[in-house]
Homo-oligomer: A and B are copies of this chain.
């Protein structure tokens, strides 16, 4: 294995040790970020006179070669390298010879690894954000289409009150809205240049951090070298936010799994998103929804892993931190894929209006409106609540619905009941009576859909701005005056 730290240590490491300590099978995913970061670093070294113009040109040309070689999968024995950093340095040496020995001047793997992760996170954040926007668009489109469909709202999985399906869908829009805003925050937190920290006390060269910051398109610059190499806060925040999205998706899936049971039959999941049974010929199972629900546990566990890992460490860098990448990559990929596949499923979901509307007829969902009716007539709420409770009991015992009660029967419970009772407990009335700006009143819901659309526009603009803060190897090289 090619190592970059021999000298003091004379014995060669045990083969099993090499395999145990090697991270290349995981961190090779960072190759592009490592090369981009290295390019910026050497351009910086040239700027402060550590590398000559010729050396710089040679190195950049070499990095381009290494990049292509990796992309064409032409690097031999990738898994023999200790990590992505030594792979790049060694491959560069193969490509350009001894000049490669100069690239590690003024930095350490400790700050380099943080840089690679931060660059990866920029991409990952933009990716996740774009997927949530995609999901939100689908949600809003669906909410717009289904504006006339009412369904029962549930608390405790018991029918509570009638609600517009669109209002229900928008309740998830709110959840993902908070999530996306947090991801934007993580981008800001993450957008700090770590280079300059070196091993832990700062670079021994007066490298130009302001220049590096601009070159690598960071908005901010981290302040303390010991903190830089010791901390993984933006990574924790990222995984925390991933677990929040997954929790929210899991609840959505839980609803849909229940709604697609034959007992509910509110929705049909498109067959392309279902799988069958190996033994029961009649089965059509909502596997995608279950897998997302299952994966949410994995991501919560990922958060736990990184927190426990870091909790146990004394100051600055400890090798335990190497495990962070496996956790990070898994959280990113599973979350990204889950949002994407759920969005697609949502696009093809079929609601069964007849079933849903029928379900509104039973369960006394108008009960709260009746209590409110009595209050508006002059009764106190607590007493109204009790009266309606007893009326519902009477209905259950006699197997009738609230609308079937005669005025005479009603007046046994309260003199306040009048002819307008029957109108007030119609489905439409019950829905539109929730006329507050967070309620299910139809006009209010339509207004929310409109404002949601403009929020989505804002997100798209913001995402574009974020993307402009992601450095690109080609661009970075192209604009350097020495390299022109």
Contacts and interface: CB of A to CB of B under 8 A. Distances in A.
Question: How many copies of this chain does the complex contain?
Answer: 4
Please provide the 9 A-B residue pairs with the shortest distance between their CB atoms, ordered closest to farther. Answer: A7-B389, A202-B439, A294-B320, A5-B276, A202-B434, A301-B305, A101-B382, A290-B319, A101-B380
Nearest to A86: B278
Contacts of A102: 375, 380-382
Contacts of A291: 20-21, 319-320, 322-323
A313 B157 CA distance: 10
A228 interface: yes
Nearest to A55: B380
Interface stretch (A129-137, A253-261, A456-464): A253-261
A398 interface: no
A274 to B, nearest CB: 6
A466 B291 CA distance: 35
A239 to B, nearest CB: 11
Contact of A258 (B6, B175, B258): B258
Contacts of A20: 288, 291, 337, 341
B314 A308 contact: no
A38 interface: no
30 contacts: A7-B389, A9-B274, A9-B284, A102-B380, A104-B279, A153-B315, A155-B317, A158-B262, A158-B284, A167-B201, A168-B226, A170-B223, A174-B223, A174-B231, A175-B233, A196-B437, A196-B439, A225-B436, A228-B438, A254-B314, A262-B362, A281-B368, A281-B370, A281-B391, A281-B392, A282-B363, A291-B323, A300-B307, A301-B304, A303-B303
A482 B189 CA distance: 48
A440 interface: yes
A108 B304 contact: no
